[in-house]
Amino acid sequence: MQSITFKGMILRCLWGLCILVSVVSCDRSYVCNSYQPVPVEGWESQDTITLLLDTVYHGGSYNVSVGIRSTHLYPYQCLWLLAELELNSPDTLIIDTLVCNITDAEGNFIGKGLSVYDNVYPMATINCKKGQSGRMRLRHIMRLNPLPGISDVGVVMEKSL
């Protein structure tokens, strides 16, 4: 009787492990999902955040987005960013100004989270060659300096469907 209970326990553990692995497993469509923290004192306008993009192993079309994590200390509805996406082999440079809505018109924070709100804003769809890598440079172009309430800035690059 005790061996049946032990066998059942082992089967339950294996079943739970299988579920855990399937939930936590990597999403192979992502080439890059990288964030860098912003100083607690605030983000200085002259501080450019540089994020490295991993090497693309399969050529094709990719969506590139900017990720912003904000807190209740952010004083505005929008965040204006200057974004530079630079890829090598062949050399490609995309420069864009992004307007990122942090709150709605009533001041409610948009995004996922309770005290830190996570948002992702599309920047570009690009065609990459196998072996390309690069970097994303981001800086805010807001008047307030230092800019409070931004905790992390990142880049998300994933295969287009």
What pLDDT is attached to residue 32? 87
Residue 68 located in a structural domain: yes
Q: In the chain, how many domains are there?
A: 1
| DSSP-H helix ranges across the chain | 2-24
pLDDT at 113: 92
- At 15 the pLDDT is 55
Residue 87 lies in a domain: yes
Whole-model pTM?
Answer: 0.79
Q: Is residue 20, in this structure, part of any structural domain at all?
A: no
Q: Map residue 88 onto helix, strand or coil.
A: coil
**Residue 2: inside a domain, yes or no?**
no
Q: Which CATH number is 86's domain given?
A: 2.60.120.260
Give a yes or no: residue 35 inside a domain.
Answer: yes
Give the per-residue pLDDT at 3: 52
Tokens matching residue 53: 């993009």
- Asked, for residue 44, whether it belongs to a domain, the answer is yes
Examine residue 5 and state whether it is found in any structural domain, yes or no: no
pLDDT confidence of residue 54: 87
66 in any annotated domain: yes
The pLDDT profile of the chain, 161 residues, written as one tens digit per residue, is 445 576 655 656 555 554 444 444 454 577 889 999 999 899 999 999 999 998 888 899 999 999 999 999 999 999 999 999 999 988 899 999 999 999 999 999 999 999 999 999 999 999 999 999 999 999 999 999 999 999 999 999 999 98
Range of the domain at 139: 28-159
Cα separations in angstroms, 55 against 2, 15, 52, 78 = 53, 35, 9, 32
According to the model, what pLDDT value does residue 22 have?
42
